[in-house]
Structure 1
Amino acid sequence: YIDITHPPHTHVLGELAEYTDNLADKEFLEKMTHATDEGKKLYQDWVHNDHRNILAVLEDIPSLKPPIDHICELLPRLQPRFYSISSSPKIHPNSIHVTAVLVRYTTHTNRLTKGVCTSWLATKKP
């Protein structure tokens, strides 16, 4: 499983820059990969502060046409999520209860962002 919700690292943006014919888009992505103050600020503002993940990057730069297999190679693996069981086996011997906060918010770019595991859990019947 790959993590499509995590903000892409600078090396991912550099790889993506190879998949556009638009010179302005290519330069924009490459600028964020540079360890200069300008590049770091641009990356911080455009990726982290705006909560952009790989899907948002591809939506916002439609000239990018990377092959899906290369995207899958570049993205990090989905990390495990750990939750505590909040029920007693004495009271509920055939089931468990998990207490979790459903992560869901709208970003500055007006995108709805959901937690990976809590959103999946919320769709399951009790």
Structure 2
Amino acid sequence: MTRRFKLDPEQHIKLSSDKEASHLPLDQPIPIKELLASHVELQEPATRTQLRELAAHTVCPPHRVELEQMAGEAYQEAILKKRVTMLDLLDQYEACELPFVHFLALLPALKPRYYSISSSPKVDEEKVSITVAVVKGKAWSGSGEYAGVASTYLCGLKEGEEVACFLHEAQDGFQLPPSSDIPMIMIGPGTGIAPFRGFVQAREVWQKEGKQLGEAHLYFGCRHPQEDDLYFDEMKLAAQNGIVHIHRAYSRYDEQKSICSAFVERRRRHADRIA
């Protein structure tokens, strides 16, 4: 992106605005690299407003027409379906002479990425863990690679570096039962095993405290036991100690191909008995 605008990413820039509020850091020098990485959303599909601005600053008439058409009836197919970003369009349409400051003004604020805490405060009140898979692959737009904003950033951190974050209270119902002897069924679809690892850790603490444990079953799916069966040894030990019963479904394992929905259905009667 900095090459597109012929800028040095290490160069400092100082922004000002007549508006009272802005998601951009105003009236303070900031490296362009940090500005783009930490304050604005670069990977969202281009909006119609952004397309019209790109068209207005494009000196090539045929390209201007193409951008105007994409802002119209072709928007769904040409932009949203392929998740084409402003970066993609600026790379494609070199005749667009949109000034960098206008480009910044068109970008929305960087949205927070939410992750489930994968540890229990019963184990350590001063530490939390999250379980993150680095998101990377071919961009839907067909131009270059897609890299997840937060996961790529976290992957690049070094030990001891500080991270800006905040805690968001869990939704009602998605928390440990009030008593250790209440039975539990944990099913990890989109969130996977991450939040339930904390639940299992809490039950381990309850067991060490001599409390009676209700029956607990954890269902989750992953691709392959040697690739993404996270916390395998930890969960195996918890199962051996009577903390939880583990039920796995592998989708890409030749010796045990099973679809998660079918797997859960086969266990339905068992789940009904526990509930």
- Bin the TM-score by the shorter chain: 0.7 to 0.9
| Structure with bigger gyration radius | 2
- 1:1-126 to structure 2, matched below 5 A, reads 1-34=39-72, 39=73, 42-92=74-124, 94-108=126-140, 109-125=142-158
User: Does 1 or 2 have the higher relative contact order (CA < 8 Å, sep 6+)?
Assistant: 1
The more displaced of 58-67 and 75-84 is 75-84
Q: Is the 8 A contact 1:105 1:112 kept in 2?
A: yes
* Counterpart Cα distance in 2 of 1:87 and 1:93: 10
Q: Which structure features the higher share of helix residues?
A: 1
Aligned-pair RMSD on alpha carbons?
A: 1.9
* Counterpart Cα distance in 1 of 2:127 and 2:101: 39
Q: For residue 218 of structure 2, what is the aligned residue in structure 1?
A: none
Partner SS for 1:70: helix
- Structure 2 gaps of 5+ residues are 1-38, 160-275
* Counterpart Cα distance in 1 of 2:128 and 2:157: 13
* Counterpart Cα distance in 2 of 1:64 and 1:30: 13
Question: 4+ runs of 1 displaced by more than 3 Å?
Answer: 89-95
Q: For residue 32 of structure 2, what is the aligned residue in structure 1?
A: none
Q: Which structure features the higher share of strand residues?
A: 2
Q: Is the 8 A contact 1:7 1:54 kept in 2?
A: yes
Question: What amino acid is aligned across from residue 152 of structure 2 in structure 1?
Answer: S
1:1-46 Cα deviation digits (max 9, x unpaired): 1101111101110011111110011001111222xxxx2xx22232
Question: What amino acid is aligned across from residue 99 of structure 1 in structure 2?
Answer: T
Tell me the TM-score normalized by structure 2: 0.40
- Number of equivalent positions: 120
Question: Among the aligned pairs, what percent are the same residue?
Answer: 29
